[in-house]
Amino acid sequence: MKHIDTHYGQVRLGTDEEIYASMLGFIEDAVLSRSRDLATIGLSGGSTPKAFYRWCIEEDTVSSLLAAQCLWATSDERDVPIGSEESNFGSAKRMFLDYLNIPKKTHYWPWPTILEPQEAAKNFNHQWEEHCGRDVCFDLCFLGMGPDCHTASLFPGCPLIGSGLEDNFAATEWPGRGWRLTITEAGLMRSKRIVIAVTGASKAEALHAVLHGDFNPKEKPAQVLKPMAEHVVWLVDETAGSQL
């Protein structure tokens, strides 16, 4: 893969296969370098993670032993039941985790979306702090980026951006798109490694704007990654990276 260093982390340009293999490699690295019994993995939503799940299962690339050394969660979530097709964790469970022979209750950590959004975020933060501590977040946090430059559920104009909130996770209402539960800037800062996958031609302009445009994270939320650039890797396909 071709590497490009930027103020927002290292960009690695490659094929779909190379991107999926890199994602798996980062999971393996998180397991090897973990400081707790389980490596904490924050999966993301969107088309690229789903394609990664299919690749893992079809190619049989993830062993049960590797999977059993991880605590699986999501970096953000829609306020929907886990059985919904729109649930990020639900998709990960149905397409990926259900195929792996791991103990569900001790290794799965979905957002408690049965609660009201603010209460769900409070509950998740409390659960996280009790088991992992307040001053740490994911060993490996996967993210994506939309054509509007949003990442996780930090959308343009999101009130969480620049708020100084110290919690790792929070609830926020995306105008016209409902409530979301998301990792915060503080949570990203406390994550050991952040891997953001950006694929498809529809992301090319946004990726260029984030990496080469003026610094305005309220307008281009993915720019919140700048302070933690040394821990950030962008996995980008040729079409998304066509303007770099």
Per-residue confidence (pLDDT) for residue 106, from 0 to 100: 86
Which whole-number Å values give the CA distances from 110 to 34, 106, 161, in the listed order? 20, 11, 24
Domains with residue ranges and CATH for the chain = 2-231 (3.40.50.1360)
Query: How confident is the model over 26-62, as pLDDT tens digits?
Result: 999 999 999 889 999 999 999 999 999 999 999 999 9
- Give a three-class secondary structure readout of the chain: CEEEEECCEEEEECCHHHHHHHHHHHHHHHHHCCCCCCEEEEECCCHHHHHHHHHHHHHCCCCHHHHCCEEEEECEEECCCCCCCCCHHHHHHHHCHHHCCCCHHHHECCCCCCCCHHHHHHHHHHHHHHHCCCCCCCCEEEEECCCCCCECCECCCCCCCCCCCCCCEEEEEECCCEEEEEECHHHHHCCCEEEEEECCHHHHHHHHHHHHCCCCCCCCHHHHHHHHHHHEEEEECCCCCCCC
| pTM over the 0.95 mark | yes
Mean predicted lDDT score pLDDT of the chain = 96
pLDDT at residue 134 greater than cutoff 90: no
Banded pLDDT at 215 (limits 50, 70, 90)? very high
Does residue 88 or residue 65 have the better pLDDT? 88
